[in-house]
């Protein structure tokens, strides 16, 4: 039988014997590389005021972004009129396009939030 070189995910790698791994030149499949262009943005929108009250960029520091998000969620856990959103994107310009309702104030006029 002809030897072939293949890679497999870790979940399957442990099921193969050492002989099978050597015979077929099986190696661990590396996860795909993370893109350096993903940045993290934290937005806080106040529906009562109808405006974005906080916008913070964390660059590629996902741990700090998540920590700040969790802190704000705890701080505002009883404030139904506050939206806290953590977004991954290539730029703030893209966030302003994909989440334009927070910047234009139209999120405050949503029919789903009537009566809050």
Task: Name the average pLDDT for the chain.
Answer: 77
Q: Which residue has the tokens 């999120």?
A: 107
| pLDDT tens figures, 15-47 | 666 666 565 555 555 555 555 579 999 999 998
In the sheet with 82-89, reading across from the earlier edge strand, the strands are 51-59, 39-46, 82-89
CA–CA dist 74, 91 (Å, integer): 27
The better pLDDT of the pair 106, 52 is held by 52
Label residue 83 exposed, middle or buried (CB < 10 Å: 0-12, 13-18, 19+): buried
Q: Which residue has the tokens 């974005």?
A: 52
Q: pLDDT category, 14, cuts 50, 70, 90?
A: low
**Token pair in block for residue 31:** 């996860």
Q: Provide the percentage of residues in the chain whose pLDDT is more than 90.
A: 40
């Amino acid at each position: 039988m002809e030897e072939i070189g293949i890679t497999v995910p870790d979940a399957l790698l442990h099921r193969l014997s050492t002989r099978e791994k050597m015979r077929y030149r099986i190696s661990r499949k590396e996860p795909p590389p993370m893109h350096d262009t993903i940045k993290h943005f934290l937005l806080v929108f106040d529906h009562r005021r109808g405006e974005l009250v906080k916008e913070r960029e964390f660059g590629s520091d996902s741990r700090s972004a998540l920590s700040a998000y969790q802190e704000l969620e705890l701080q505002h856990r009883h404030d139904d009129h506050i939206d806290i959103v953590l977004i991954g994107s290539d730029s703030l310009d893209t966030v302003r396009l994909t989440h334009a309702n927070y910047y234009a104030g139209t999120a405050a006029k949503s029919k789903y939030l009537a009566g809050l």
